[in-house]
């Protein structure tokens, strides 16, 4: 059977006519949709004829069956030819194939990772491709990453992290018909090559030292043997929980958290003057000079704000740990800003969410979001070689570098 050769001029006229009528390229009524249908159907017929001619046993055509395909150009309804012997296995569109050149799963996960709701994703796919995908189907697709989350959570970690930042971020989650708060415990480390690494995300009921102890134990079980300096806020019992797992780890309480907590107890009219005096403390060049300024701060403000001064004095050993290091290391450890920056990027993705439908839904979105964020952590921190040289002097054999 001689096939009619492809006529490009006829194709242009047909396409122009259809586009003029539809005013659209894509979707159910788009100009490309019927052309794709014609192309696929003719290609399938060609495949069947070649299969029959090459067969060793007598065979012939046996009618057609309707089939719905999801494509980049929208939903396409085609007629697929059959053979009498049932041996025809088409290649261009397989027997059980329902999509063509369209990686819906990947696109749905990408949209979900950007914080889109299931309904928003369904509307987006419908608008872009003219394809109806239910929210239930989208939820099942996003569920495919749950095994990946479990694998990521249990992956082995490096044995030594010079710096680790620990902090929690809070979200609303629906549970048994009501909305409750959940704390997401985040552990961010700086490895011996100077690269940031998210060590883990854990969901707990409320932020507390007991749950942090579980988190730290998990890090230990996954291979973390030593942390030089841990940066955290002053949650009651938090530092003690850390040092029960890593007794050699030095704790640096976040200066910024301490300042924020101080401001809560100040009169508005005193904030500016108090912070000016306080800056002399934490920006001092040496610990001795810082303690001198702390004494001056107490002399000036102690009678008016005794609880604030007492808090600084009570926590001074862990607030002032950074003074023993050079400016480069001080800049890295004196605050938890590095992990708060990570939290801001998570919030940028989740800001449209009032409450998550479940803890699994929350973890799926956070996992996909962190993959996008962490993929950009492809350079060591600034001047890492100088920092590493200092660490090698201070911590000696505790560094385990593969030189």
Distances (CA, A) of 35 to 15, 226, 295: 8, 64, 83
- Asked whether residue 269 falls in the same domain as residue 203, the answer is yes
Task: For residue 183, give every residue at least 6 positions away whose Cβ sits within 8 Å of its Cβ, in sequence order, or none.
Answer: 168, 169, 170, 203, 204, 205, 206, 207, 211
Say if 150 falls within a structural domain.
Answer: no
Distance CA 198, CA 138 (A): 27
pLDDT of residue 1: 44
Task: Find residue 175's DSSP bridge partners.
Answer: 178
Structure-token match 């697929």, residue found: 80
Distance CA 276, CA 292 (A): 15
pLDDT of residue 120: 86
- Asked whether residue 65 falls in the same domain as residue 126, the answer is no
**E strands of 117-195, at which residues?**
160-175, 178-190
Low-confidence ranges of the chain (pLDDT < 70): 1-33, 35, 39, 72-74, 92, 100-104, 128-131, 401-403
Cβ atoms of 84 and 62 closer than 8 Å? yes
pLDDT of residue 6: 47
Say if 153 falls within a structural domain.
Answer: no
Q: Is 161 helix (H, G, I), strand (E, B) or coil?
A: strand
> pLDDT tens digits, residue range 22-64?
544 445 555 566 767 776 787 788 888 888 988 888 999 999 9
Last residue of a domain, one of 116, 144, 172: 144
- Asked whether residue 93 falls in the same domain as residue 107, the answer is no
Question: In total, how many domains does the chain have?
Answer: 3
- Asked whether residue 124 falls in the same domain as residue 198, the answer is no
pLDDT of residue 13: 59
- Asked whether residue 111 falls in the same domain as residue 233, the answer is no
CA 76 to chain centre: 35
- Asked whether residue 136 falls in the same domain as residue 199, the answer is no
Say if 312 falls within a structural domain.
Answer: yes
Q: How many CB atoms lie within 10 A of CB 326?
A: 11
- Asked whether residue 249 falls in the same domain as residue 184, the answer is yes
Task: Find residue 163's DSSP bridge partners.
Answer: 190, 229
Say if 17 falls within a structural domain.
Answer: yes
Query: CA-CA-CA-CA torsion for 96, 101, 105, 111, nearest 10 degrees?
Result: -150
DSSP, residue by residue, 234-281: --TTHHHHHHHH-TTPEEEE-HHHHHHHHHTTS-GGGHHHHHHHHHHH
Q: What is the pTM of this model?
A: 0.72
- Asked whether residue 249 falls in the same domain as residue 324, the answer is yes
- Asked whether residue 214 falls in the same domain as residue 273, the answer is yes
Q: State the sign of the Cα–Cα–Cα–Cα dihedral 85, 87, 89, 90.
A: negative
- Asked whether residue 67 falls in the same domain as residue 166, the answer is no
Say if 53 falls within a structural domain.
Answer: yes
What is the total residue count of the chain? 403
Say if 111 falls within a structural domain.
Answer: yes
Q: How many alpha carbons fall within 13 Å on the CB side of residue 249?
A: 29
Distances (CA, A) of 352 to 117, 202, 348: 9, 22, 8
Buried b (16+ CB within 10 A) or exposed e, 209-246: eebbbebbebbeeeebebbbbbbbbbbeebbebbeebb
Distance CA 70, CA 385 (A): 53
Residue 79 structural domain? 1-100
Last residue of a domain, one of 115, 144, 173: 144
- Asked whether residue 191 falls in the same domain as residue 321, the answer is yes
Say if 4 falls within a structural domain.
Answer: yes
Give phi and psi for 9, each to the nearest 5. -65, -40
Say if 18 falls within a structural domain.
Answer: yes
Give phi and psi for 68, each to the nearest 5. -105, 125
pLDDT of residue 23: 47
- Asked whether residue 273 falls in the same domain as residue 369, the answer is yes
Distance CA 47, CA 82 (A): 11
């Amino acid at each position: 059977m001689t096939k009619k050769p492809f006529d490009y001029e006829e194709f242009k006229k047909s396409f122009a006519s259809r586009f003029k009528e539809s005013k659209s390229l894509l979707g159910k009524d788009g100009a490309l949709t019927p052309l794709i249908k014609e192309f696929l159907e003719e290609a399938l017929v060609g495949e069947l004829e070649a299969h029959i001619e090459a067969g060793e046993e007598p065979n012939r055509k046996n009618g057609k069956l309707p089939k719905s395909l999801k494509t980049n150009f929208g939903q396409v309804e085609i007629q697929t030819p059959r053979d009498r012997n049932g041996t025809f296995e088409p290649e261009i569109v397989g027997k059980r194939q329902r999509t063509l050149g369209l990686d819906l799963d990947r696109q749905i996960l990408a949209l979900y990772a950007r914080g889109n709701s299931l309904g928003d994703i369904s509307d987006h796919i419908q608008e872009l491709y003219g394809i109806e995908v239910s929210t239930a189907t989208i939820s099942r697709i996003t569920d495919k990453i749950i095994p990946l989350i479990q694998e990521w959570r249990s992956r082995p970690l490096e044995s030594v992290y010079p710096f680790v930042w620990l902090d929690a971020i809070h979200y609303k989650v629906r549970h048994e018909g009501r909305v409750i708060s959940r704390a997401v415990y985040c552990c961010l480390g700086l490895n011996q090559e100077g690269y940031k690494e998210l060590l883990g995300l854990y969901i707990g009921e409320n932020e507390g030292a007991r749950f942090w102890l579980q988190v730290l134990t998990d890090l230990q079980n996954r291979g973390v043997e030593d942390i030089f300096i841990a940066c955290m806020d002053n949650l009651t019992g938090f530092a003690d929980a850390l040092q029960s797992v890593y007794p050699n780890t030095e704790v640096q309480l976040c200066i910024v958290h301490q300042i924020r907590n101080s401001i809560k107890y100040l009169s508005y009219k005193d904030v500016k003057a108090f912070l000016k005096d306080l800056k002399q403390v934490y920006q001092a060049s040496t610990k001795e000079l810082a303690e001198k300024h702390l004494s001056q701060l107490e002399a000036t403000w102690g009678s008016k704000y005794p609880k604030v001064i007492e808090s600084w004095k009570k926590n001074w050993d862990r607030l002032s740990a950074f003074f023993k290091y050079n400016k480069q290391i001080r800049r890295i450890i004196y605050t938890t800003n590095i992990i708060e920056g990570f939290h801001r990027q998570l919030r940028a993705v989740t800001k449209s969410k009032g409450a998550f439908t479940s803890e699994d839904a929350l973890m799926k979105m956070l996992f996909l979001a962190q993959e996008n964020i962490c993929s950009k952590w492809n350079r060591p921190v600034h001047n890492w070689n100088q920092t590493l040289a200092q660490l090698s002097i201070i911590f000696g054999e505790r560094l385990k570098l593969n030189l």
